[in-house]
């Protein structure tokens, strides 16, 4: 991977983090108006998939065989990267504090470092370990997880499953494309994942409620569908397609560390759009995440230590993002 390719990948990864982070601030008014998290995410994912579908069809240029050859990768993206991770994350936050669940889920980069270490029996270089510790410290400051009487073992297990799902998402996204455009993987992964989430919601396994009440947005009352469309187009369609493209260029490990900036972006949007307080520790935490990414980025890529390069991905062998 040359320097120009890495630089472009970092820019695309920053776009992905910035767009992913927008979803929380826009979804909060929907949730407060009566939407359940599962319903909001299902509609969001389906909108994203529908928006990307025609773009994916154009990008494929009639080469539908590429999609069939990548069917296990697409299925893994749908089942794990979209539906599975979302489902266990929402189940987790019903039992433990949101900040704790987010902190655990976004430890996925450390899981990728540890997994590559275990698979290859080659320890990461010092810069990666230092960067991991610094980035984790920054994440703690940004998220500020708190204690709660609702904390329980099952909630912890579900959050750990979300962490595993988030890690697998980056591994799936970073697999060699073999000609399949990133937008195609994103489109069909979102469509299949959205259908699965919808079926789970309609089955009654998770709360699935909607509302047509107007919601506060940009200092005024707007129709319920407006934030959903913005989330679906910007924070889902653009976010997933750019994240997959960046992961293919950077590899799963570096892309996952840059993905930590999604938490920073979400905090910034909550301050900008919802008026939530932005504290000095959170700002310092964001800076630490950037420093940690710089440390990880400074190591020259070693294909043998890249999880996506050492794990032959098959959805049948994989364990089960927000």
If one counts the domains in the chain, the total is 1
Residue 252 lies in a domain: yes
- DSSP string for 22-63: HHHHHHHHHHHTT--HHHHHHHHHHHHHHHHHHHHHHHHTT-
Distances (CA, A) of 158 to 22, 86, 102: 24, 11, 11
From first to last of the 322 residues of the chain, give the pLDDT tens digit: 566 778 899 999 999 999 998 988 888 889 889 998 889 999 999 999 999 999 999 999 999 999 999 999 999 999 999 999 988 888 887 778 777 888 888 999 999 988 888 888 888 888 999 999 999 999 989 887 655 555 578 888 998 999 999 999 999 999 988 899 999 999 999 999 999 999 988 888 888 899 999 998 877 899 999 999 999 999 999 999 999 999 999 999 999 999 999 999 988 988 888 888 888 888 999 999 999 999 988 876 554 445 544 333 333 233 335 5
Residue 72 lies in a domain: yes
Query: Can you give the length of the chain in residues?
Result: 322
Residue 199 lies in a domain: yes
Residue 125 lies in a domain: yes
In this prediction the pTM is 0.87
Q: Which residue range(s) make up the domain with 305?
A: 3-310
Q: What are phi and psi of 215, to 5 degrees?
A: -125, 150
> Which residue, chain included where needed, has tokens 């979803």?
23
Contact 136, 291 (CB under 8 A): no
Residue 208 lies in a domain: yes
> Which residue, chain included where needed, has tokens 């959903």?
228
Residue 188 lies in a domain: yes
Residue 319 lies in a domain: no
- DSSP string for 249-265: HH-HHHHHHHTTHHHHH
Residue 320 lies in a domain: no
């Amino acid at each position: 991977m040359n320097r120009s390719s890495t630089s472009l990948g970092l820019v695309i990864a920053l776009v992905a983090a910035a767009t992913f982070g927008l979803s929380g601030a826009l979804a909060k008014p929907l949730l407060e108006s009566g939407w359940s998290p599962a319903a909001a995410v299902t509609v969001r994912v389906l909108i994203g998939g529908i928006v990307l579908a025609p773009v994916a069809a154009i990008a494929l240029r009639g080469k539908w065989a590429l999609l069939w050859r990548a069917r296990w990768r697409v299925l893994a993206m749908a089942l794990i990267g979209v539906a599975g991770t979302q489902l266990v994350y929402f189940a987790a936050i019903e039992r433990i504090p949101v900040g704790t669940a987010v902190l655990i889920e976004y430890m996925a980069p450390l899981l990728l470092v540890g997994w590559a270490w275990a698979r290859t029996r080659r320890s990461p270089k010092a810069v990666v370990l230092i960067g991991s510790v610094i980035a984790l410290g920054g994440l703690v400051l940004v998220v500020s997880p708190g204690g709660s009487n609702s904390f329980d073992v099952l909630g912890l297990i579900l959050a750990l499953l979300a962490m595993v799902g988030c890690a697998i998402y980056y591994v799936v996204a970073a697999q060699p494309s073999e000609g399949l455009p990133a937008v195609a993987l994103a489109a069909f992964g979102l469509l299949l994942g959205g259908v699965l989430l919808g079926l789970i919601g309609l089955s009654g396994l998770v709360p699935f409620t909607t509302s047509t009440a107007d919601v506060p947005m940009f200092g005024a009352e707007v129709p319920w569908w407006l934030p959903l469309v913005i989330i679906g187009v910007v924070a889902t369609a653009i976010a997933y397609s750019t994240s997959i493209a960046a992961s293919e260029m950077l590899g799963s490990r570096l892309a996952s560390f840059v993905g930590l900036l999604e938490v920073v972006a979400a905090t910034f949007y909550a301050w900008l759009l919802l008026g939530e307080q932005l504290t000095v520790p959170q700002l310092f935490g964001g800076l630490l995440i950037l420093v940690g990414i710089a440390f990880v980025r400074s190591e020259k890529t070693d294909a043998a230590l890249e999880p996506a390069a050492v794990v032959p991905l098959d959805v049948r062998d994989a364990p089960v993002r927000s």
